[in-house]
Amino acid sequence: MNELERLAGLETDATAAVAAFRQRAAAEGLLDVAYADLDSPMGALSVFVTPVGLVRLAYGRAQDELGDLAERLSPRIIAAPERTDAVRRELEEYLAGQRGAFDAPVDWSLMRGFANAVLRATARIPFGSVSTYRKIATEAGSPNAYRAAGNALGSNPVPIVVPCHRVLHAGGGLGGYTGGLERKRFLLRLEGVLGE
């Protein structure tokens, strides 16, 4: 019947309803993790924000992190760029050389035990300064655990904002980096630690 064919061909647009849903989910405390993609001079980045703060900053697209974060944090994880505005603005300012420190709060819940201590020590290294794996291990309470400190830095869930790029080898070698050494060099140049 013609009418049923027309019914089957119905085109509708769910965009407005989904946007209203996102706003309400946040207002009712049901949006556990909001996320957005952004482009940067370092390539694609994605940010994930809980009601506490920035919980994950990934090199690459959000899509590649979703499954893992749904398991580790909450399946209530939704693309909601409007919830990530503050942290995205700060990142853009930092990467444009207009900001030295981040004001947006960090949610530390993906960082446990010794890794948490290492990364909290790392967060205290100011813009434009550097430290070493051994010093960070000492500050975290285990001077001999510099290899473990290196591992903790390598699994930093919020690179850039928790500045693991500021940790180098005592001899001056760059060490490793979660996003690849080219990105570490980029950040150290941006902060004036490395020459152009």
Q: Which position among 51, 52, 64, 67 is part of the footprint of another protein (CB under 8 A)?
A: 67
Of these residues, 55, 73, 152, 164, which one is catalytic?
164
- Classify residue 48 by burial, with Cβ atoms within 10 Å: 0-12, 13-18, 19+: buried
Of 184, 180, 168, the closest CA to residue 136 belongs to 168
Q: Does the protein bind another protein through residue 128 (CB under 8 A)? A: no
Q: Does the protein bind another protein through residue 123 (CB under 8 A)? A: no
Instruction: Using DSSP, state whether 140 is helix, strand or coil.
Output: coil
> Count of residues binding another protein (CB under 8 A)?
31
CB of 27 to another protein, least distance (A): 10
CB of 54 to another protein, least distance (A): 18
CB of 5 to another protein, least distance (A): 8
Q: Does the protein bind another protein through residue 172 (CB under 8 A)? A: no
- Per-residue tokens: 124: 């205290």
Please state whether beta strands 33-40 and 77-79 pair in parallel, antiparallel, or not at all (unpaired): parallel
- Pure H helices in 29-123: 66-72, 85-95, 113-123
Q: Is 153 a catalytic residue?
A: no
Residue 23's H or E segment, with its range, is helix 15-27
CB of 83 to another protein, least distance (A): 13
- Classify residue 25 by burial, with Cβ atoms within 10 Å: 0-12, 13-18, 19+: middle
CB of 107 to another protein, least distance (A): 17
x-or-dash pattern for another protein, window 5-44, by CB under 8 A? -xxx-x-xxx-xxx-xx--xx--x-x----x---------
x-or-dash pattern for another protein, window 71-90, by CB under 8 A? x--xxxxxx-----------
Q: Does the protein bind another protein through residue 66 (CB under 8 A)? A: yes
| Residue where the block lists tokens 């944090």 | 73
CA distances from 195 to 110, 124, 186, 190 (A): 34, 23, 10, 9
| Residue where the block lists tokens 């407005």 | 16
Catalytic site positions: 164
Q: Which residues bind another protein (CB under 8 A)?
A: 1, 3-4, 6-8, 10, 12-14, 16-18, 20-21, 24-25, 28, 30, 35, 66-67, 69-71, 74-79
